[in-house]
Structure 1
Amino acid sequence: MHSEPTWDPHQYLRYAGHRTRPFVDLLARIPRLPNGDRPARIADIGCGPGNVTALIADRWPTAHITGFDLSPEMLAIAEKEHAGTTSGGGWMDFRPADAAHWTPDEPYDLIVSNAALQWVPNHPESFPVWIEGLAPGGTFALQVPGNFTSPSHALLGELCDTPQWRARLGDRGRRFVHVLDPAGYLGRLVDLGCETDAWETTYLQLLAGEDPVLDWVKGTALRPVLTEFGDDAAAAAEFLGQYRDLLRKAYPPGPHGTVFPFRRIFAVARKRY
């Protein structure tokens, strides 16, 4: 059994602006919460370094927001940068939790997950418990990547499966098989009695610099591979060189930078009163 990938918050945050665009769009589609005059109670599943959790506080400034994540590295940054009283008088805290096993321990007005559930096998099986954990009229909202057949990910899986790397890396480049299409999420959540909206968007990210797609995936899809290499710098460098060459052909730079299509899948489900 593979260990969990080791995360690098600083590498992840190098493209924070691009990575948060889908979450901003998701927040805009979340309806009014049912908290009335009391502060809203909100859970962020897979909060990472807390930068998007802070955007939740901007939308609901008096809310008590808890971010949950499995990565100690991510939680350390989130605690340092974002924990405590928010500018609107609310409160933000962070706790360790595995999204695969997390269950609500109190009624939440909003449960949200941004770019995390693709790491969780069978995550739709948790939806009934999460919806049950919402207050009447509460919302569950998710955003996940839908680009796992794109060259960036397909080439990674193919390289891991070559004779040179197969024994060592196995399926480390093919862990992203847990995402449904928008209709799949729509059906699951409507079956649970929720008013549901589901959609997809492809953002055309214009990335700057040398080998920007490789730099991008070092913060996400490459984490399991880099974790497997550990301190073996020579093997990591050889693998990254091969992957870099493949990405250069798949994503050639243009006059204004490198275009990187970024497909995302969204769902917003409101529990009935």
Structure 2
Amino acid sequence: MLDWNPALYRRYEDERTRPAQELLARVPLAEADRVVDLGCGPGNSTELLVNRFPRAEALGTDNSEAMLVSARERLPGARFELSDIATWAPQDKAPDLIYANASLQWVPDHETLIPRLFDALAPGGVLAVQMPDNRQEPTHRLMRALAAEAPWAEPIGDADRLRTKLLPLGGYYDLLAPHAANVDVWHTIYQHRMADAASIVEWVRGTGLKPFVDRLPPDLQASYLAEYERRVNEAYPARTDGKRLLAFPRMFIVAQKKA
């Protein structure tokens, strides 16, 4: 997959940062010595951690150099490193907070990943995770449906493999509850007010649509996006004010380790 585009991602930064704020608000830590932002992107979520825990050592990780460049410009006082969440582990002191906002949905094998991250915490530490849970929303069903049609099917390949299938919310609770002091899980469906179908396509091009489009040559990218926007326009009808409502379900998990 081609590198991420920080500028495209930031076009809807306020909307993307809102669940990050709500996740952090439920973290039951009065203070922290070390906090880690897994999949930090352009640093908008890391900035929340720095403001909440100003005395903590803050580390942001991402597998995109472009995102890390943007994050370092935004927060020159924080440390950022290139790494893969699938293999990441603390190199020295165990963190008090491992925070992953909209990143773990790109990482496979959650039955192993989630317990491994939880085990990496310091005693009393917190694992805080937010993931989009929108595979069954029209935006994502249409991505996969188009990817199964000619002429796009062959270069895209198996669309079901382009994003990790999440566990049910209770599955994450069951992974963590036997080993945690407390596990807080919840589900929120945001309703984002969008100008038109093109703005919905622009939103998902920064994230979920990217692995589909990246596999296509330029001519097929153009035809795929045109047909995708046409179908999005049908799936998200204009409301009484002419705007579109983009329903966006998200899953939240906050688990605290025993002290």
Q: Report TM bin, short chain.
A: over 0.9
Q: Aligned pair 1:154/2:147, yes or no? A: no
Task: Tell me by how many angstroms 1:177 deviates.
Answer: 3.5
2:125 match: secondary structure: strand
1:182, CA displacement in angstroms? 1.6
- Structure 1 residue 171 displacement after superposition: 2.6
Deviations 1:148-185 (A, max 9, x none): 11110001001001132111111346523431222111
Deviation at 1:5, TM superposition (A): 4.0
Of 68, 75, 90, 1:75 maps to 68
Kindly indicate whether the alpha-carbon contact (under 8 Å) linking 1:123 and 1:178 is maintained by their aligned counterparts in 2: no
Please tell me whether residue 271 in structure 1 is matched to residue 257 in structure 2.
Answer: yes
In the alignment, which residue of structure 2 is the partner of 1:7? 4
Q: Contact 2:197–2:232 (CA<8 Å) still a contact in 1?
A: no
The SS at the match of 1:83 is coil
Tell me the residue number matched to 1:221.
Answer: 208
Answer whether contact 1:6 1:223 (CA < 8 A) is retained.
no
Aligned equivalent of 2:29: 32
1:113 equivalent in structure 2:
100
What is the TM-score of this pair, normalised by structure 1?
0.89
**1:123 and 1:210 mapped to 2: Cα distance?**
33
Provide closer, same or farther for how the CA distance between residues 96 and 68 of structure 1 changes in structure 2, counting only shifts above 3 A: same
Distance in 2 separating the partners of 1:12 and 1:253? 24
From 205, 214, 224, the equivalent of 2:192 is 205
Output the CA distance in 1 between the equivalents of 2:61 and 2:165. Answer: 20
Asked if the contact 1:57/1:65 (under 8 Å) is kept, the reply is yes
Aligned residue type for 2:246: F
Amino acid of the structure 2 residue aligned with 1:233:
P
The Cα offsets for residues 79-130 of structure 1, whole Å up to 9 and x where unpaired, read as 122121xxxxxxx110001011111222111001000001001134123332
Residues 120 and 178 of structure 1 are in contact (CA less than 8 Å); yes or no, is this contact kept in structure 2?
Answer: no
- Ranges of 4+ aligned residues in structure 1 off by more than 3 Å: none
- The alignment yields a C-alpha RMSD, in angstroms, of 1.6
* TM-score (ref. length: structure 2): 0.94
The aligned residue for residue 43 of structure 1 is: 36
Q: Give the counterpart of 1:100 among 83, 86, 102.
A: 86
Change (3 A) 1:58 1:257: same
Give the superposition deviation at 1:193.
3.2
* 1:141 to partner: Cα distance: 0.5
Partner deviation per Cα, 1:25-44 (whole Å, 9 max, x = no partner): 10110002564xxxx20011
Deviation per CA, 1:48-67: give whole Å up to 9, x if none. Answer: 11111101111111111100
Alignment-derived partner of residue 88 in structure 1: none
What SS class does the counterpart of residue 73 from structure 1 fall into? helix
Deviates more, 1:202-211 or 1:260-269: 202-211
Percent identical: 37
Within a 5 Å distance, the mapping from 1:135-174 to structure 2 comes to: 135-172=122-159
Match of 2:246 in 1: 260
Consecutive unaligned residues of structure 1, counting only runs of 5 or more, are: 85-91
